Structure 1
Amino acid sequence: MINILIVLFSFLHPFYVSVTDIRHNAKNKSIEISSKIFFDDLEREIELENKVSFDIIKPVDKAKVDLLIANYIKKHLQLKVDGKLMAMNYIGYEIQEDAAWCYLEIPKINKVGKIEIDNNILFKLHQEQINMLNVTVNDHRQSTKLDAPTSKASFKF
């Protein structure tokens, strides 16, 4: 009986994972960032952090939701390129199945030697949060996994 409960619990226990892809686009001289985050968790975390209520799927005020998401992502995902903290431009988000894809860009990046990332997205909401990172520069991809509370990683190219 106990074994059945353990197996049942393991199936019922949700998992908490985000995936962030960071790609240097040499042709456009920019860094393109996309983060896939479970939209219900993103919505809840932003609501808690800002003491607001909104619907990420059917927003009443899309511009307000975009601003909330932009501010949250910029606060919880920071990039340094070759030692310099970069400002990211928020492009927007879209919902696909159970996830929000959030898109950002860093313009005017001719080349990349080192990228340092601080990603603590959803760490306040879930102690079990895992944030996957995929970084591609010059068609060379490197990946890592950040288990809360560890939020920092660096990649050399």
Structure 2
Amino acid sequence: MKTLKQLLFITAFALLSFTSVHKYYVSITQIEYVKEKQSLQIISRIFVDDFEKLMRKRYDSNITLNNGGNEEVIDQYVKKYLLEKMEISINDELKKITFIGKKYDDDIMYCYLEIENIASIKSFQIKNKVLFDLFDDQKNIVRTNINDKNKTFVLIAEKDKGLLNF
């Protein structure tokens, strides 16, 4: 019996020793140009726990996301942060991004943004520094569908911009 316990302990120890918990820090931003509406529509998906950690550090140490709390205050913080960390230039002109709102889906927060009055796009540049100030290994994936062309960027702190020319 003692040998069986020792064997189980050694087996469990060996299995646990080679199992490591690794946390990935990533956001995904989908950008689509809807020519008929002359609109650039943006959906940014961010892990709730990562964004909550950021909001607690920056704005309010007691804030909790996705619990039905004071969503108006949370929306103001989300809007302020995203508009500070995300810049989009179209045809070499910095554009005003409008925060539409957000919703939660389990552990993901979907943030909706828009740029209106875009007649055509000849060049597109994005800077996305979301969560770079909190996580050293943060990656921001940007997927675009502009002028019927799909392109994906992986932005990191050292390379936080992506550029497309059409």
**What residue number does 1:135 align with?**
144
SS at match of 1:27: helix
Where do residues 33-112 of structure 1 align in structure 2 (5 Å cutoff)?
33-112=42-121
From the CA coordinates, give the structure whose radius of gyration is larger.
2
* 1:148 alignment counterpart: 157
For residues 19-38 of structure 1, the aligned pairs below 5 Å read 19-38=28-47
Consecutive unaligned residues in structure 1, runs of 5 or more: none
Judged with a 3 Å threshold, the aligned counterparts in structure 2 of structure 1 residues 154 and 6 are, in CA distance, closer, same or farther, namely farther
Identity %: 26
Q: Aligned Cα RMSD in Å?
A: 1.9
Stretches of 4+ moved more than 4 A in 1?
3-6
**Paired residue secondary structure (1:73):** helix
Distance across 1 between alignment mates of 2:42 and 2:18: 37
Please give the TM-score of this superposition, normalised by the length of structure 2. Answer: 0.86
How many residues matched? Answer: 155
Q: Retained in 1: the 8 A contact 2:47–2:107?
A: yes
In structure 2, how many angstroms separate the alpha carbons of the residues matched to 1:99 and 1:149?
A: 25
CA contact (8 A) 2:125 2:162 kept: yes
Q: Deviations over 1:56-94 (max 9, x none)?
A: 202432111111101111111111111111111111111
Q: What is the Cα deviation at residue 23 of structure 1?
A: 0.9
Q: Per-residue deviation at 1:52? A: 4.5
Letter of the structure 2 residue corresponding to residue 114 of structure 1:
S
